[in-house]
Amino acid sequence: MSIAIIILLPLLGALLPPLSARWGRRAAAWSAAGVTALSLAVLLAAAPRILAGESWQDGWAWVPAMGLNLTFRMDGLGFLFALLVLGIGLLVILYARYYLSETDPMGRFYGLLLLFMAAMLGIVLADNLLLLLIFWEMTSLSSFLLVGYWKHRADARQGAVMALAVTGGGGLALLAGLLLLGSIAGSFELSAILPLRGVVAGVPVISASSPLGRSRACSTSSITRPSRPRSAR
Judge whether 149 lies within some domain: yes
pLDDT band for position 135 (cuts 50, 70, 90): very high
In total, how many domains does the chain have?
1
Which domain does 159 fall in, by range? 4-195
C-alpha 61, offset from chain centre: 21
pLDDT above 90: residue 160: no
H helical segments located in the chain:
4-13, 16-20, 25-45, 47-51, 76-99, 106-125, 129-147, 154-185, 190-193, 197-201, 211-224
Query: Does some domain include residue 208?
Result: no
Domain assignment present for 108: yes
Quick check: is 181 in a domain? yes
pLDDT at 185: 79
Residue-wise pLDDT tens digits, 166-189: 888 888 888 888 888 888 878 888
What is the per-residue burial (b if ≥16 Cβ within 10 Å, else e) of 72-104? Answer: bbbbeebbebbeebbeebbebbeebbeebeeee
Q: Is the pLDDT of residue 43 over 60?
A: yes
> Would residue 127 count as lying in a domain?
yes
Q: Is residue 220 part of a domain?
A: no
The verdict on residue 226 lying in a domain is no
Which comes out higher in pLDDT, residue 206 or 24?
A: 24
Query: Residue 217 domain-assigned?
Result: no
Residue 208 has pLDDT above 60, yes or no: no
**What tens digit of pLDDT does each residue of 76-105 get?**
999 999 999 999 999 999 999 888 888 788
